[in-house]
Structure 1
Amino acid sequence: MSGGGNGSAAVPTHIVMFPWLAFGHISPFAQLTRRLIVGSSDGVFRVTFLTAAGNVTRVEAMLAEAAGTVKVAPLDLPSVPGLPAAAASTAELSADGAELLKVALDGTRPQVAALLAELRPDAVIFDFAVPWVCDVAVPLGIKPLYFNVYSAATLALVAVPARCPGGRCPSAHDLMAAPAGFPSDSPLVTLPAYQAADLTYAYESFYSMPSVYHRFIPCFEGCAAAVMKTCAEMEGPYIDYFSAQIGKPVLLAGPVVPEPPQGELEERWSSWLSSFPENAVVFASFGSETFLPAASATELLLGLEATNRPFLVVLNFPKGADAEAELAARVPPGLEERVKGRGVLHTGWVQQQRILQHPSVGCYVNHSGFSSVVEGIAAGCRLVLLPMKTDQYINAAVFARELHVGVEVVRRGEDGWFGRDAVSDAVAAAMAAGGDGEGRKWREFLLDDAVQKGYATEFVRKLKDLVKVA
């Protein structure tokens, strides 16, 4: 092997990173790569990062600071009927297209096998979509390590063996209750019907492929260990439950806090935000791959109008959609005139970190993606949590009801409907005295340099020890 597992500076330990082709997965793998490099002060790691050829330029930019120790290797996706020829990530695809992308990624197995046989790395850190990496890596003496980009609570609730006793997949009704042995004091012990119904996706097969759940399980069975971007302080009971369920070691990389943003905030946003008092503005954004249905977006906008606060809303739509037409379908008649000067709607990319850090932004309405919530906490914003799917529902419960960070928008249990009053009430609660809950405590924790360095150092130590074991 390139590193021989000895961790010496002269012969660096070689790690291959292989994420699923969604930037919500690629980004955490890139963050983990940077943590490896930074946490290893003696320069004992080098990384080869595998992704579809169409993503290489963007991934190289994400890893520019580690260019000397990281190489991005392209994979050529095979042609799949129904999948656009240029598709390289889920950002370019419908939900059905994302399922076809899994078919294409499975088709790269011969390429990946040849690369691993040529490179002979010490370990390959892989994602849920490619459990077959274990079958390729182990005969070559390469340690396969599964990396979980979700919260530990999500994995513990959805993907453990106890979820399918006797091999029987759960129904929507079954999913309203937690699996056997799940932490009994968790707010996730029972789920409302609409959330349970949404989780059934994880057990469904598309195009005769394994379901998400049936990709997770062989990952756990075949890996030497699991890696998680979380910590015991935030998710200890879920980490312990998951580890006991799979019977494998769990290496904690610590909660990954986004690096400080580069450059200055664009003048148009800086000027507009600066026209309002400190902590006055509500910023609402739902990431690049969470799309609000028209009726939900309309209620959100009317709810923000009702707060009588200035607000900036970012709404995005699937690639190929007519963004102007989609936005028009969501904006209530007369809204733009009524909120002129204090309400702005935008579609497309924005400098989210810079906006969150602006002194005038006091509240962040978001979809409860784990990274987004951490970003909001780190920026010192009050949080309103409006999850729209799967792991987001779980994250919202953990942050709001266990860690006491953020206010959840109240929804109807049977179908998840929320109205404008629920939005305005949640913003009011978040912005009221004491509405930050324990946000300050968690912000100090996340931004504590000693905590971050401690997790990075311990992760690197445990990874090196694991690689050394024959």
Structure 2
Amino acid sequence: MDTSKLHVAMFPWLAFGHFIPYLRLSNKLAERGHKVSYLLAKGALPKLQQLNHHPDLIHFFPLVIPHVDGLPSGAETASDVPFPLHDLLISAMDNTKDQVETILTNLKPDIVFFDFGQWIPSITRQLGTKGSLYGRLTGSMKESDAIAVRTCHEIEGSFCDYLAQQYSKPVLLTGPVLPETPDAQLEEKWDKWLYKFDPGSVVYCAFGSQITLQKEQFQEMMLGFELSGFPFLVALTPPHGCSTIGEALPEGFKGRIGERGWVHGGWVPQTLILKHPSVGYGCKINGRRIEAIEVGRGLDGMIGKEGLSKAIKSVMDNESELGNSVKNNHVKWKNIFSGKNWQDEKIDGFVQDLQFLLESGK
């Protein structure tokens, strides 16, 4: 076997939040001449083909996702299934085991990357293939040969050292594997609206397509953005029980906010939005934190409008010590991450670790 060039297989969880990072890593590996066999739900293929930058080296293997009673007809990915039914989708993924085993037996890859498929190691051991885990799930980590994490020592070194000690196996780091800067221009409707505001003043909030809030929590958050006084762009799926974002908004919200806020219920060009000069430090809010600031919660666990408003103000205030600290920290990491040499070194080091893993197992 020529270990200078690897053949790896990818088998991510059936969600685009997993498909896309796996494909980014696949592109980085193919960029260095390594072959990738990518197993995924058949229905996800059309949305991912355009993100394959090396179709000569990255080959997709579509899987037929068997129906499980209780799932919507034709459901293949987490986007097709409400969160409470994800356990059933896991069962559907488990039912692809025979398909996956047949593909891997024919391909005989050097290494398989997986996360939710806890049964992958039982297949790879029969083939003499290494299972590296691309995720953080305990059961899979116990059975895998090594653990791969999309991070770097500069960010989560202590966590990675803990994993290595806890599981007594190598922890391999890919680096952040950031998306390539797209050549496309931001659509005029977004660009025109964002330019209405001062540089660095717009708060961008995105939860991802897999998170659906309860209506009460959704409305409380909208009121928090209103109270903050800052312009904001929020991209969320409609809350439970609502078919559109408009019907879920607090009473009188649109009239009070006017042009200062935009709440969008569909897909947004996130990478291009974060690049826009009007967006605050390229900073986005996620489920629990604004950068490094914990958002206060009530006794019921909900994020309150006052707590959210306070957190936004503390981060966006250029005059405060905390606001300046967050901004300077963001600039520091942005300068590090944007350096192509730095990212290339992380991927090169990761490939060397994979090759060493194979050699040590002979």
* Equivalent in the alignment of 2:229: 308
Of the three residues 421, 427, 432, the one matched with 2:312 is 427
State whether residues 92 and 318 of structure 1, in contact with CA within 8 Å, keep that contact through their aligned partners in structure 2. no
What aligned pairs does 1:47-446 form with structure 2 within 5 A after superposition?
Answer: 47-63=36-52, 65-127=53-115, 129-148=116-135, 155=136, 216-217=138-139, 219-317=140-238, 322-324=242-244, 327-329=246-248, 331-362=249-280, 380-382=281-283, 384-387=285-288, 396=289, 405-412=291-298, 414-433=299-318, 434=321, 435=323, 436-437=325-326, 438-446=329-337
Which whole-Å CA distance do the structure 1 matches of 2:81 and 2:191 have between them? 33
Shift of 1:62: 2.2
Which whole-Å CA distance do the structure 2 matches of 1:318 and 1:126 have between them? 31
State whether residues 227 and 250 of structure 1, in contact with CA within 8 Å, keep that contact through their aligned partners in structure 2. yes
Which whole-Å CA distance do the structure 1 matches of 2:193 and 2:232 have between them? 11
Shift of 1:112: 1.3
| 1:323 alignment partner AA | S
Question: Helix, strand or coil: the match of 1:282?
Answer: strand
State whether residues 221 and 304 of structure 2, in contact with CA within 8 Å, keep that contact through their aligned partners in structure 1. yes
Which whole-Å CA distance do the structure 2 matches of 1:86 and 1:385 have between them? 30
Which whole-Å CA distance do the structure 1 matches of 2:101 and 2:262 have between them? 50
State whether residues 204 and 284 of structure 2, in contact with CA within 8 Å, keep that contact through their aligned partners in structure 1. no
Q: 1:297-349, CA deviations, whole angstroms, 9 ceiling, x for partnerless residues? A: 21222222222222222221379x6532x5413x2221211221222222111
Of the three residues 340, 344, 349, the one matched with 1:449 is 340
State whether residues 133 and 144 of structure 1, in contact with CA within 8 Å, keep that contact through their aligned partners in structure 2. yes
* Equivalent in the alignment of 1:25: 18
State whether residues 299 and 419 of structure 1, in contact with CA within 8 Å, keep that contact through their aligned partners in structure 2. yes
Shift of 1:275: 1.8
Shift of 1:270: 0.8
Which whole-Å CA distance do the structure 2 matches of 1:383 and 1:89 have between them? 25
Q: 1:120-139, CA deviations, whole angstroms, 9 ceiling, x for partnerless residues? A: 11111111x21111111111
State whether residues 384 and 408 of structure 1, in contact with CA within 8 Å, keep that contact through their aligned partners in structure 2. no
Question: Helix, strand or coil: the match of 2:112?
Answer: strand
Unpaired segments ≥5 residues, structure 2: none
Further displaced range: 116-125 or 303-312: 303-312
TM-score normalised according to structure 2 size = 0.92
Shift of 1:385: 5.0
Shift of 1:292: 2.4
Distance 1:85 1:262, change over 3 A: farther
State whether residues 16 and 50 of structure 1, in contact with CA within 8 Å, keep that contact through their aligned partners in structure 2. yes
State whether residues 15 and 48 of structure 1, in contact with CA within 8 Å, keep that contact through their aligned partners in structure 2. yes
State whether residues 148 and 174 of structure 2, in contact with CA within 8 Å, keep that contact through their aligned partners in structure 1. yes
State whether residues 384 and 427 of structure 1, in contact with CA within 8 Å, keep that contact through their aligned partners in structure 2. no
State whether residues 261 and 354 of structure 1, in contact with CA within 8 Å, keep that contact through their aligned partners in structure 2. yes
Q: What is the aligned length?
A: 355
Which whole-Å CA distance do the structure 1 matches of 2:283 and 2:130 have between them? 42
How well do the aligned residues superpose, as a CA RMSD in angstroms?
2.0
Question: Helix, strand or coil: the match of 1:284?
Answer: strand
Identity, % of aligned pairs?
35
| 1:14 alignment partner AA | H
Which whole-Å CA distance do the structure 2 matches of 1:107 and 1:386 have between them? 31
State whether residues 16 and 47 of structure 1, in contact with CA within 8 Å, keep that contact through their aligned partners in structure 2. yes
Which whole-Å CA distance do the structure 2 matches of 1:102 and 1:384 have between them? 28
Unpaired segments ≥5 residues, structure 1: 149-154, 160-215, 363-379, 388-395
| 1:447 alignment partner AA | S
Which whole-Å CA distance do the structure 1 matches of 2:273 and 2:229 have between them? 20
Distance 1:116 1:383, change over 3 A: closer
Distance 1:334 1:220, change over 3 A: closer
Which whole-Å CA distance do the structure 2 matches of 1:132 and 1:22 have between them? 18
Which whole-Å CA distance do the structure 2 matches of 1:118 and 1:81 have between them? 31
